[in-house]
Amino acid sequence: MDKFSYAAGSDLDSANKAFQEQVSTQVRRATAELKKLEQILSAGIVDRRVLTEFRDAVNRVRSTSWNVECWLQSAQNGEPMSAMLLQERVRLATQLNTQLAPDLHAEGSNVDAASLQKLRSSLETLLQELTNVF
């Protein structure tokens, strides 16, 4: 290995380590903030929809962190990341559809017909693909 290759590798290692430390620090900070927020939420003075959106966001972060942890632990077994991503997308789509149905009938909900038609079309396409898979 020449001097340039060694230096470039060393710089990359340093950059990776710095990024890893930055992410770890941010995760620690977010964890501390979530613990504080838990105490505040215990008072129960919060709009239900805001709380639902927050819970969904936390669930996405939790799920993503779990997926990354699984990927880091199973990187040697050869399972492609695309399989894990597909599984997570199926889970999220199922959750979103379950929440969407009652929202369409909620008081004050107003969605334009074009958006609903796009949703219907995409769901019909997905259903066709599911029919082909099963």
Contacts of 95 (CB under 8 A, 6+ apart): 56, 59
- The pLDDT, as a whole number, for residue 123 is 94
Is position 21 within any domain?
A: yes
Is position 31 within any domain?
A: yes
- Which pTM was predicted? 0.48
- The pLDDT, as a whole number, for residue 94 is 92
Is position 26 within any domain?
A: yes
Query: For the chain, which ranges sit under pLDDT 50?
Result: 4
Is position 29 within any domain?
A: yes
Is position 25 within any domain?
A: yes
Is position 82 within any domain?
A: no
Torsion-angle region of 78 (φ positive above 0: left; ψ -120 to 50: alpha; else: beta): left
Q: Which residue, 134, 125, 133, 59, is CA-closest to 91?
A: 59
The per-residue pLDDT for range 82-118, each reduced to its tens digit, is: 777 788 789 889 989 998 888 888 877 788 889 999 9
Is position 131 within any domain?
A: no
Is position 117 within any domain?
A: no
Q: From the CB of residue 53, how many other CB atoms can be counted at a distance below 10 Å?
A: 11
Query: What's the number of domains the chain is made of?
Result: 1
Q: What percent of the chain has pLDDT over 70?
A: 90
Domain limits at 25? 8-45
